Chain A
Amino acid sequence: MNSIGRRLQTLLLGGFLFVGILACAAVYLIARDEFDELFDYQLVQVANALFRQGVVPLPSSISHEDEAKLVVSVWKDGKLVYADPPGIRLHPPRGAGFLDLPVGGSTWRAFVLRTDDRIIQVSQPIAARRDISFNFSVHAVTPLLVAFPIFAFFIWLSVRIGMSPLNRIAEDVGRRSPSQLKPLPIDGLPSEILPLATHLNYFMARLSDALERQKRFVADAAHELRTPLAVIALQLRILERSTGEDKSGEAIDRLRDGIRRAAHMVAQLLVLARLEPESPKAFSKLRLDIASGEVVAEHARIAEQRGVDLGMIEGEPVTVVGEVESLRAMIANLVDNAVRYTKAGGAVDVRVGRSDAGAFVEVVDNGPGIPPGERERVFERFYRCTRSGESGSGLGLAIVKSAVERHGGTITLDQGPDGKGLRVVVQLPALPAVIEDRTGSFPPT
Chain B
Amino acid sequence: MRILLVEDDSMLGDALCRSLTQDGFVVDWAQNAEDAELSLSSVVYGLVLLDLGLPDKEGLEFLSDQRSAANPIPIIILTARDAVVDRIAGLDTGADDYLVKPFDPDELSARIRALQRRQAGRFSPLIEHGSLVINPAIREVYRNGERIWLTAKEYALLAALIERPGTLLSKASIEERLYGWGDEVESNAVEVHIHNLRKKLGHGIIRTVRGVGYIIEEPS
Contact = CB atoms under 8 A, between A and B. Distances in A.
B102 A229 contact: yes
A434 B12 CA distance: 53
Contacts of B9: 227, 231, 391
Contacts of B11: 227-228, 231, 257-258, 261, 391
Given A238-B18, A387-B32, A387-B55, A230 B10 contact: no
Given A233-B103, A233-B105, A237-B106, A224 B15 contact: no
B80 interface: yes
A389 B10 contact: yes
A234 B8 contact: no
A234 B18 CA distance: 9
Interface string B47-85: 000000001100000000000000000000000110000
B80 A223 contact: yes
A43 B180 CA distance: 139
A225 B56 CA distance: 22
A386 interface: yes
B22 interface: yes
Interface residues of A, number: 28
Q: Of B18, B55, B106, which is in contact with the most chain A CB atoms at under 10 Å from its CB?
A: B18
A390 interface: yes
Interface in B17-39: 18-19, 22, 31-32
B198 interface: no
A234 B80 contact: no
Contacts of A385: 55
Q: Of A261, A390, A391, which is in contact with the most chain B CB atoms at under 10 Å from its CB?
A: A391
A160 interface: no
Contacts of B104: 233
B16 interface: yes
Contacts of A254: 14-15
A238 B31 contact: no
A384 interface: yes
B110 interface: no
Contacts of A229: 101-102
Nearest to B12: A231
B100 interface: yes
Q: Of A234, A241, A386, which is in contact with the most chain B CB atoms at under 10 Å from its CB?
A: A234
A73 interface: no
Contact of B102 (A226, A238, A257, A261): A226
B101 A237 contact: no
Contacts of A387: 31-32, 55-56
A33 B100 CA distance: 101
A237 B105 CA distance: 7
Q: Of B11, B18, B102, which is in contact with the most chain A CB atoms at under 10 Å from its CB?
A: B11
Contacts of B14: 254
A385 B8 CA distance: 11
Contacts of A342: none
Interface string A211-231: 000000000000110111111
Contact of B22 (A224, A238, A258, A261): A238
Interface string A374-403: 000000000011111111000000000000
A419 to B, nearest CB: 24
Contacts of A261: 11
Q: Of B12, B14, B100, B106, which is in contact with the most chain A CB atoms at under 10 Å from its CB?
A: B12
Nearest to A224: B80
A391 B103 contact: no
Contacts of A9: none
Contacts of B55: 384-388
Contacts of A231: 9, 11-12, 15
A415 interface: no
Interface string B91-111: 000000000111111100000
Contacts of A123: none
A235 interface: yes
Q: Of A223, A232, A257, which is in contact with the most chain B CB atoms at under 10 Å from its CB?
A: A223
Contacts of B102: 226-227, 229-230, 232-233
B149 to A, nearest CB: 16
A391 B7 CA distance: 12
B101 A226 contact: yes
A233 B11 CA distance: 12
Contacts of B32: 386-387
Given A227-B101, A254-B15, 6 more contacts: A229-B102, A234-B16, A261-B11, A384-B55, A386-B56, A387-B55
27 contacts: A223-B80, A224-B80, A227-B12, A227-B101, A227-B102, A228-B11, A230-B12, A230-B15, A230-B103, A231-B9, A232-B102, A234-B15, A234-B16, A234-B18, A235-B15, A237-B22, A237-B106, A238-B15, A242-B22, A254-B15, A257-B11, A386-B32, A387-B31, A387-B55, A389-B8, A391-B9, A391-B10
Q: Which 5 A-B pairs have the closest CB atoms?
A: A229-B102, A234-B15, A230-B102, A386-B55, A226-B101
